[in-house]
Amino acid sequence: MNKSTQATVNELLAGSVGGAAQVLVGQPLDTIKTRAQVAPKGMFKGPMDILSQTLRNEGFFALYKGMASPLLGVAGVNSLLFASYGISKRFLSPYPELSLKETALAGAMAGAANAVLASPVEMFKVRMQGQYGGKDDKRLRAVVSGMWREYGFRQGIMRGYWVTVAREIPAYAGFYGAFEFSKREFKKVYGDNLPVWALLASGSTGGIAYWLACYPLDVVKSRIQLRATPPIGTPVQYIAHELKTIVAESGWKGLLRGLSPSLIRSVPSAASTFAAFELTREYLEKVTGA
């Protein structure tokens, strides 16, 4: 196995570890974020009301509702993301350290590739989180089989794919660009062997940049994926229609509904993702020499 192939394998394995850390740390706040985006108007007063009602009516583990979907798919999704990012970097430049513009472009390319797996994982997570503890709530297996049976692969399993692509491109450009910027600033002070807290801080910066770069599209994605029927028209048409609908219903602030729990969540979840990835990759580099 040549060094380039081994490096990709290392990134696949490290991405799985980083993704698992992200889901375990960030799922409760992700549930609050999704419910803020898709709940019927007037159902909740804000993020804290979502938290209190969820705990009171459904119990603590309802905050982890829908975790099976990202946790089961996280190995593939994050492996694909980090490996695509590594491949994109090597495609853009033969040198190990890219400019920040090249880093952001590599992140955008990785985000586009990542949407292939992220879209169905997100779709099933959103549909699980959009259940509020009623007697008709379904298990993940029933949700998956129902979507497949009723709508098939494209309109069922892959519903929201194009809006996921539209979200992932700017999101991961910001994600990797901000992470690399922060990491390089820390390296000016601490050298190449960064302390773990510096990796955590850099990851948090990347996570915040991720949401700031894409949040309105995330609201659109969640609403489209939760709706009972598939969207109509071309991706541009139904994304534009959903944006107009959100503004008509809730004003411009509707495009940012649920942003605060997302930003709060991004600090520990992105920090743990990057720290777990970087530490695992560095370990594998020492073991494999690639």
Residue 104 clears pLDDT 70, i.e. is over it? yes
Residue 212 clears pLDDT 80, i.e. is over it? yes
Cα of first residue to Cα of last residue in the chain, in angstroms, is 10
Query: Where is pLDDT greater, at 258 or 5?
Result: 258
Q: How confident is the model at residue 290 (pLDDT cuts 50, 70, 90)?
A: low
What mean pLDDT comes out for the span 108-119? 94
Q: Domain 3-288: which topology?
A: Mitochondrial carrier fold (1.50.40)
Residue 150 clears pLDDT 90, i.e. is over it? yes
The verdict on pTM exceeding 0.85 is: no
Reported as half-sphere exposure (CB side, CA atoms, 13 A), residue 15 has a value of 22
Residue 225 clears pLDDT 90, i.e. is over it? yes
What mean pLDDT comes out for the span 227-240? 94
Residue 20 clears pLDDT 80, i.e. is over it? no
Which of 29-33, 46-50, 154-158: highest mean pLDDT?
Answer: 154-158
Residue 265 · residue 26 · CB < 8 Å? yes
What mean pLDDT comes out for the span 91-108? 92
Cα(26)–Cα(15) distance, integer angstroms = 16
Residue 86 · residue 122 · CB < 8 Å? no
Domain parsing of the chain, residue ranges? 3-288
> Would you call 7 exposed, middle or buried from its count of C-beta atoms within 10 A (0-12, 13-18, 19+)?
buried
Least confident range of 135-139, 165-169, 173-177: 135-139
